[in-house]
Amino acid sequence: MKFFVDTAEIDQIKELNDLGMVDGVTTNPSLIAKSGRDILEVTKEICDMVSGPVSAEVVALEADDMLAEGRKLAKIADNIAVKVPLTWAGLKTCKTLSDEGTMVNVTLCFSANQALLAAKAGATFISPFIGRLDDINLDGLELIEDIRTIYDNYGFETNILAASIRSANHMSDCAKIGADVATAPPNVIKAMANHVLTDKGLAAFMADARKAGIKIV
């Protein structure tokens, strides 16, 4: 499973990218607003740092306006994936941009039917938001499973990009189901390294090393 990092914070992307943990980046209008940066500038900076796909989201609601925004975003770099919402206008925009050879990430997906439409419209990525489904007591992981089944049944090449990831467990669950990509905030990717038995075992090893006076360099 590929790891995308879900942030527009340059320092945090760099830290994970230097460790080889970043296969791509996703942003959205809320993350851009939080960064306080200009969307075109910060997206360009991310594209220069990361070689994989970098999702940048349109803010228009009508198909013609979305298309104009998508074409402008696509000019930033070759690794841009234009992010469009899963609305009828978004699907139209997805089809046109995909036909033009631009990667498209269809976002705000909450049902298997929506994912089926995005694949038919030629999406490169479909982003089911699992955390936001869990927030309203629906099963986000079940949606990932359903989309995996449907795409495999018909050989759709659209990548399942599990989004709205809230915990380290979400990451391993998505990997078990067979999501192609999971996008997570930096703190969730870092939390994947944590285990209470690692901390406990390390404390015991360090105490023994101190007692025995072990020195290596």
Which residue among 163, 179, 181, 188 contacts ligand E4P (CB under 6 A)?
Answer: 163
Which residue among 37, 95, 120, 132 contacts ligand E4P (CB under 6 A)?
Answer: 132
In whole angstroms, the minimum distance from the beta carbon of 78 to ligand E4P comes to 20
Q: Return the number of the residue (107 or 158) whose C-beta is nearest ligand E4P.
A: 107
Task: Tell me the C-alpha to C-alpha distance, in Å, between residue 42 and each of 33, 35, 124, 126, 140.
Answer: 11, 9, 23, 23, 30
* Catalytic residue check, 83: yes
Tell which positions 88-107 bind ligand E4P, by CB under 6 A.
107
> Burial, 144: exposed, middle or buried (Cβ in 10 Å; 0-12, 13-18, 19+)?
buried
Site string for ligand E4P, 4-43 (x = CB under 6 A): --x-------------------x-x---------------
In whole angstroms, the minimum distance from the beta carbon of 213 to ligand E4P comes to 48
Joined together, the tokens standing for residue 19 give 């460790």
Size of the site for ligand E4P (CB under 6 A): 11
- Cα distance between residue 53 and residue 10, in whole Å: 15
Q: Return the number of the residue (178 or 185) whose C-beta is nearest ligand E4P.
A: 185
Q: Return the number of the residue (86 or 217) whose C-beta is nearest ligand E4P.
A: 86
Query: Residue 165: what are its φ and ψ, rounded to 5°?
Result: -85, 130
- Cα distance between residue 29 and residue 58, in whole Å: 8
Q: Which of 31, 156, 47, 147 is nearest to 98 (CA)?
A: 156
